[in-house]
Structure 1
Amino acid sequence: MGKRTGGGLLLALLLAGCGGSPAETGPAVMEDPAFETAQQQWRMQRYTELTAADGWTALVGLHWLEHKAHYIGHGPGNGIRLAVGPDKLGMVRRQGDGWTFTPEHGVAASIEGAALTGPVAFRGDHDAAPTRITFDDGKGQLSLIQRGGRAALRVKHADAASRLGFTGLEYWPGGSAWQVHARFLPHPPGRTLPIVDITGLTTAMPNAGAVEFEHGGQHYRIEAIAEPGAPLFLIFADRTSGHGSYPAGRYLDTAAPTADGHVMVDFNHAYNPPCAFTPFATCPLAPPENRLDLRVEAGERAYHPPKENAP
């Protein structure tokens, strides 16, 4: 590969220090320096977001709310026992169509730096401004997610073993040949696609259209998750799924299609769903329509956590 500079060198050091190096994923291929720089920057951003103090590797719990009220905390006697945090953190209560959170007296909890002293509305991830409750001097984070007709508490902590013990990302050889110029075929307005997540829940997701492309002389198609005119979210599985790539498939984001129906699909940016790193995520899975008879040897390879952190 070409010379590494700036952020690319830092990325190489990070990967080498965490058990993965680009040199391990395939033979060297000469690429345009601008292409290499862009890929290195994307990988660096991906690594940074994934391992942030509130990134996916910081997840330590997922607790479904089955009753109207739940006392939560790390200690015994709570309806929901957290893996981290104070013995008694507070109470989550159903109020009409929503939820509230009341902190335990004397516990230091806050929202956006403002200390909590009484009940507050606990808005979920489907709301315009979701609530993020922090504790343990800001290391812990409590949020509410809504899946179908159910709600759950999602708990993150900066000292999560899955974050502190993160072993790094490995990549398929990839290359500019995997930057595919695809054609976007719009669907009629309002069309949805049933997507099953890892918990077994099926959700009708907006399906604005599909992307079609050629690779190796063969024709392929991926149904896109998106509202009309918006950037596309692609969930796909391929012949490497379970054979070097995460078994349930990978994700890929693209820009919104151009006015004349073109979209760049860069398989070098295919990435693992959060479930590859933690058992506490609710990941949508690739639908049957998006299972490609193709080995996509680009993007992230399967993640191999330390044995003590493995789900």
Structure 2
Amino acid sequence: MTVQDSSAGIDTFVAEWEAWHQRKDAALAHEHGFLAVTGLHWLACDPQRFPDAPGTWSTGDDGVTVVLGRGEELVVDGTAVRGRHAFGVIPERGGVNAFWGDAVIEIAKRGGNDLIRPRHPEHPLRTAFNGTPAYAPDPRWAITGTYTPFPEPRPTTVGAAVEGLQHVYDAPGGIRFRINDLTLGLTAFNGSTPGGLLVLFTDATSGVTTYAANRALQVDAPRPDGTVVLDFNRATNLPCAYTDFATCPLPPAENRLPVAIEAGEKIPHERKPAGR
């Protein structure tokens, strides 16, 4: 455990968790965050118009191109563009934002396919957002494990929230830990901080109290002796838990845990059936 069995230590643990969760929800509900996305539009060689974005869009060997009509304008890197504009080749999991009034048009590549994803601040999913339900934070779910790097990073193919799409991530190593006298393992991907790790997983609560497809856990960089802390209180939903316009990765098969992780974020209000 990482928290001493004292009321002061637990109070601090809970306060830090609450501040973290508020920051997480605030980022999600940002005016151009995922709750503002109004469409997921896959681009093709043939030019297409979409109802929530200006211009006619296409992609090809030279990358993504938009042709803006009379009176249409985008702002790219601080510069207003009209007529034809080439965004070039977008790298996998990369993206560019173009501003259109108070909206943002995200141009991205996922699973080898180019797309645009308009983000409108007035989208009802965003304006009605009232926070993400979660289990009450409990220090017992901050579990110490051991990280073991692989001899070489392992390219790992996983599915996606969008049917037929696949993602490939390099997995630098694995984590072993114990719950209820069971030794469990997780394949880890590179995290959002230097040396940090990302774990995608499901467990026995998935589809019951937590989102069925996946949850994500950021893990701080391993200590010199390989120990890591898996604080499942900070297991989060990915954007696909809220919107169908996300291409989130699914966990690798070995990350489907046979135990109930009763910690972290629950099924969003937006995904619960009416009346529940």
Question: TM over 0.5: same fold?
Answer: yes
Deviations 1:29-71 (A, max 9, x none): 99622212210111111111010011111111001113x2424
Amino acid at match of 2:16: A
Q: CA RMSD in A?
A: 2.5
- TM-superposed deviation, 1:210: 0.8
Identity of aligned residues (%): 29
> Size of the alignment, in residue pairs?
265
- Change beyond 3 A, Cα 1:40–1:144: same
- TM-superposed deviation, 1:198: 1.7
Deviations 1:253-306 (A, max 9, x none): 112222321212110110111111101111111221001111111100101228
CA distance in 2: counterparts of 1:118 and 1:45, whole angstroms: 39
Amino acid at match of 2:196: P
Would you say 1:162 and 2:125 are equivalent positions? yes
Aligned to 1:231: 196
Match of 1:62 among 36, 40, 63: 40
Amino acid at match of 2:130: T
Match of 1:49 among 27, 40, 43: 27
Aligned to 1:101: 66
Aligned to 2:16: 38
Unmatched tracts of structure 1, length 5 or more: 1-28, 73-80
Would you say 1:141 and 2:104 are equivalent positions? yes
- Check conservation: 1:134, 1:142, Cα contact below 8 A: yes
- Change beyond 3 A, Cα 1:156–1:94: same
- Change beyond 3 A, Cα 1:155–1:279: same
- Change beyond 3 A, Cα 1:269–1:184: same
Name the stretch that deviates more: 124-133 or 93-102: 124-133
Unmatched tracts of structure 2, length 5 or more: 1-6
CA distance in 2: counterparts of 1:157 and 1:112, whole angstroms: 19
Aligned to 2:250: 285
Would you say 1:194 and 2:172 are equivalent positions? no
4+ runs deviating over 6 angstroms: 306-309
Between Structure 1 and Structure 2, which shows a larger proportion of strand residues?
Answer: 2
- TM-superposed deviation, 1:127: 6.6
What is the DSSP-based 3-state SS (H/G/I as helix, E as strand, rest coil) of the residue aligned with 2:213? coil
- Change beyond 3 A, Cα 1:203–1:127: closer
CA distance in 2: counterparts of 1:174 and 1:239, whole angstroms: 18
CA distance in 2: counterparts of 1:296 and 1:195, whole angstroms: 22
CA distance in 1: counterparts of 2:229 and 2:58, whole angstroms: 46
CA distance in 1: counterparts of 2:8 and 2:195, whole angstroms: 34
CA distance in 2: counterparts of 1:195 and 1:230, whole angstroms: 22
